[in-house]
Amino acid sequence: MIKYENVGMRYGQNVILKDITLTINNGELFVLVGPSGKTTLLRMINRLTAPTAGNVYLNEKCVKDYDLRELRLHMGYVLQSSSLFPNLTVGENIAIQLEQQGVNKNDRRKRAIELLDQVGLPASDFIDRHPDELSGGQQQRVAIARSMATQPQLILMDESFSALDPVLRAQQQDLLLNLHRQSRTTVVFVTHDMQEALRLGDRIAVINEGQLQQVGTPNEILEQPANQFVADFFATARPRLGTMTALLSSKLVQKTSATDQSVAVATVAELASLTPDAAGWLYFQYQGQDYRIQTTDLLHYLGHREDR
């Protein structure tokens, strides 16, 4: 568990963060958004930045009381550009922290193979390549694999997918969601992309002018924005497709009993991404209830929203 307690940050006269109190639970995929201060907040967890007021706790212990090496050993950190070591192979990059831990060469390679497999890169093809022989998306996958090598309890991700084109970006988001579902590692994810925040976040924290505006599930943020700032901030992500509540009350949607075709969705954007081209019923689940909608009706509804 990560806890920010009355955290403040200033550089000279410049106040960056004011009185932030926030808890991130174990196993959460927690997203930080807002115009400014996100990276600063994230880096307080691995102590790359020290707050000028208040404290940050990891598992009830103040991060400044940890041995720095020990603190970071159990955290992965994935930046916007992959930051792999160019002179090391993919396998060596992934295993570098294991080497520091004294894990032998054979076991390191085994673990690298396992991790490459998890991030969808066949080890036989990739393990001995160098980073400059990989595409940006592949490098980012290796960076994610590296961040998981020591089975950290926590992974910090700062705009990790922002440099990727939309298709690759969506793939990496899927990858992260799958890995997170399997491992239940706590992930703190910084992004300036609202769609990404809504898609990934179990909960989202919105920061503006140094202050915490709201913490909530994607649904809460969309349906009950705490103030005008939050509403406006997500407006670009929202009005185009509307909220689930609006869609469900549109009479196009019918409740059904559970089917094995239903895919759980949290937002209209996610539902839209399921849309097949063919006509017919699209089954989905929202907050534990099963529904169906005619694909043509959904497309019509979405098209109508996009006109506005």
Binding site for Mg ion (CB under 5 A): 39
192-211: contacts with ligand ATP (CB under 6 A) = 192
**Backbone dihedral region for residue 132 (phi beyond 0: left; psi -120 to 50: alpha; all else: beta):** alpha
Integer distance in angstroms from the first to the last C-alpha of the chain? 42
| Partner in contact with 214, chosen from ligand ATP, Mg ion, none, beta carbon below 5 to 8 Å by kind | none
Q: Is 213 in the site for ligand ATP (CB under 6 A)?
A: no
Indicate the residue among 160 and 186 with the shorter CB distance to Mg ion.
Answer: 160
Beta bridge partners of 212: 207
Indicate the residue among 189 and 291 with the shorter CB distance to ligand ATP.
Answer: 189
Indicate the residue among 28 and 159 with the shorter CB distance to ligand ATP.
Answer: 159
Q: Going edge to edge, which strands form the sheet with 203-208? A: 75-78, 154-158, 186-190, 29-33, 203-208, 211-216
What is d(CA 18, CA 22) in angstroms, rounded to the nearest whole number?
12
Binding segment (CB under 6 A) for ligand ATP, from list 35-43, 129-137, 149-157, 197-205: 35-43
Q: Is 11 in the site for ligand ATP (CB under 6 A)?
A: yes
Binding segment (CB under 6 A) for ligand ATP, from list 37-45, 70-78, 240-248, 263-271: 37-45
Among positions 7, 16, 149, 282, the unique one binding ligand ATP when judged by CB under 6 A: 16
C-beta separation of 31 from 43 below 8 A: no
Tokens of 208: 């503006």
Residue 220: count other Cβ atoms within 10 Å of its Cβ. 15
Q: Is 217 in the site for ligand ATP (CB under 6 A)?
A: no
Q: Which residues bind ligand ATP (CB under 6 A)?
A: 11, 16, 36-40, 192
